[in-house]
């Protein structure tokens, strides 16, 4: 029987020393929780915490046709980006589904020759090889060079309302001036060329810090020293999931995948149909014009039972109208919440649905407006 090799991040020994609950995730040995998911969740919502998300993938796309390639393979309009700007986008798969969702960073022109542009694409850890192959399959028609820097790049997410106060101690970069979805490069904790991104997957505010693997331990230690007065805490992937769900953020493999279109997923806002030709553009235009059969909705349960991925969704008559994609007990709202695809007849806010949880038991739920938490 073949043994699957699980990778480590540069900070694995830190997590083990903190007695984190570890588990394989996207091919990496990752911390799921330290003190507990609920405690960590509340820490990020109300204070500040640090996530090791070094498992994420990063690609550099550079050249005379870099913008043209990014425009071709992504759904958003990267021509709107100036240096220091970021976009959320997806990679359409040519069949109406989604290869992956990603962030597109417009890098500075000083790393390019005359007439060139450069981008960094940040992709999900579980899809690094898949995304690379997909983009490369379209790159042959463009004058570009591509580099996969995933294996040598670390990433920390400093999230929460006190994140700025912590990071300001460690850098002369005016991070308070960074608008949401912009970035700057500078020295952090004495470390050169750290990319400081005003982004995150929690909805609690904060930053994501990209650095070389060799810098990660020092950066981790510096953040915890600077955050000591705020009782900064390490946060695992368990709380990352509950935090993102409260904000209605999609998780690839759950809420979006190769079978769901961005129009069905409520991601029409990152699908710029007027930008010109891109993969699946005509199909998405048709979906917008003529409608789709299912849509992703948020719902709350009146019972205390927690909905789980793949639980069936039914109407009052017991007919299956959809399926749960994500669910949890919201630590902030103290109630069960979830997302799932349902027939468009049941997408209106206030629609009554039922979640089938096995054994013939089903529980009443109500469609609510996303996000669950503003």
The fold of the 293-368 domain, in CATH, is Elongation Factor Tu (Ef-tu); domain 3 (2.40.30)
Q: Find out whether 362 and 313 touch, Cβ atoms under 8 Å.
A: no
Instruction: Note the CATH number of domain 1-292.
Output: 3.30.1360.120
Region 108-119: mean pLDDT is 90
Report pLDDT for 110: 84
Rounded to whole angstroms, the Cα distance separating 116 from 109 reads 8
- The answer, yes or no, to whether residue 3 has pLDDT greater than 90, is no
Report pLDDT for 126: 96
Report pLDDT for 5: 82
Residues of the chain with CATH 3.30.1360.120: 1-292
Cis peptide, bond prior to residue 371, ω within 30 of zero: yes
Give 116-155 pLDDT, tens digit per residue: 999 999 999 999 999 999 999 999 999 999 999 999 999 9
Give 250-269 pLDDT, tens digit per residue: 999 999 999 999 999 999 99
Angle at 248 between CA 247 and CA 250, to 5 degrees: 125
Report pLDDT for 360: 81
Pair type for strands 98-106 and 183-188 = unpaired
In the chain, what are the helix, strand and coil shares in percent, each to the nearest 5?
25, 35, 40
- The answer, yes or no, to whether residue 4 has pLDDT greater than 70, is no
Report pLDDT for 199: 98
- Mean of per-residue pLDDT scores for the chain: 97
Rounded to whole angstroms, the Cα distance separating 365 from 323 reads 13
Give 60-98 pLDDT, tens digit per residue: 999 999 999 999 999 999 999 999 999 999 999 999 999
- 351 to 218, 250, 299, 372: CA distances (angstroms): 51, 21, 9, 16
Give 155-181 pLDDT, tens digit per residue: 999 999 999 999 999 999 999 999 999
- Total residue count of the chain as it appears in this document: 374
Give 298-345 pLDDT, tens digit per residue: 999 989 899 999 999 999 999 999 999 999 999 999 999 999 999 999
Rounded to whole angstroms, the Cα distance separating 297 from 311 reads 14
Alpha helices in 247-300 (DSSP H): 281-290
Residues of the chain with CATH 2.40.30.110: 293-368
Report pLDDT for 134: 98
């Amino acid at each position: 029987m073949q043994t699957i090799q699980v990778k480590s991040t540069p900070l694995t020994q830190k997590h083990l020393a903190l007695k984190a609950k570890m588990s394989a995730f996207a091919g990496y040995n990752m911390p799921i929780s330290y003190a507990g998911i609920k405690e960590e969740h509340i820490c990020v919502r109300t204070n500040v915490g640090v996530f090791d998300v070094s498992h994420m993938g990063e690609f550099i796309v550079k050249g005379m046709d870099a913008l043209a390639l990014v425009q071709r393979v992504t759904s958003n309009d990267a021509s709107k980006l100036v240096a220091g700007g970021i976009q959320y986008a997806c990679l359409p798969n040519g069949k109406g589904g989604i290869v992956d969702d990603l962030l597109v960073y417009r890098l500075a022109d000083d790393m390019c020759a005359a007439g060139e542009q450069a981008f960094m694409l940040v992709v999900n850890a579980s899809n690094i090889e898949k995304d690379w192959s997909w983009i490369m399959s379209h790159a042959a028609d463009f004058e570009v060079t591509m580099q996969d820097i995933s294996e040598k790049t670390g990433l920390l997410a400093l999230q929460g309302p006190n994140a700025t106060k912590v990071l300001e101690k460690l850098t002369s970069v005016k991070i308070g001036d960074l608008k949401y979805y912009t970035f700057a490069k500078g020295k952090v904790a004495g470390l050169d060329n750290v990319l400081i991104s005003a982004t995150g997957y929690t909805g609690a505010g904060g930053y994501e810090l990209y650095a070389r693997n060799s810098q990660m331990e020092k950066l981790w230690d510096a953040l915890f020293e600077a955050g000591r007065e705020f009782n900064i805490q390490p946060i695992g992937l368990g709380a990352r999931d509950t935090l993102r769900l409260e904000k209605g953020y999609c998780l690839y493999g759950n809420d979006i995948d190769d079978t769901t279109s961005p129009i069905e997923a409520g991601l029409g806002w990152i699908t710029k149909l007027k930008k010109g030709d891109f993969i699946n553009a005509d199909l998405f235009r048709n979906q917008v014009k003529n409608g789709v059969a299912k849509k992703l909705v948020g719902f709350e349960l009146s019972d205390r039972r927690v909905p789980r991925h793949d639980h069936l969704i039914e109407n009052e008559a017991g007919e299956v109208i959809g399926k749960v994609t994500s669910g949890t007990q919201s630590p902030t709202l103290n109630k069960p919440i979830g997302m799932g695809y349902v027939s468009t007849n049941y997408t209106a806010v206030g629609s009554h649905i039922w979640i089938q949880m096995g054994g013939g038991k089903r529980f009443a739920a109500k469609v609510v407006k996303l996000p669950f938490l503003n």
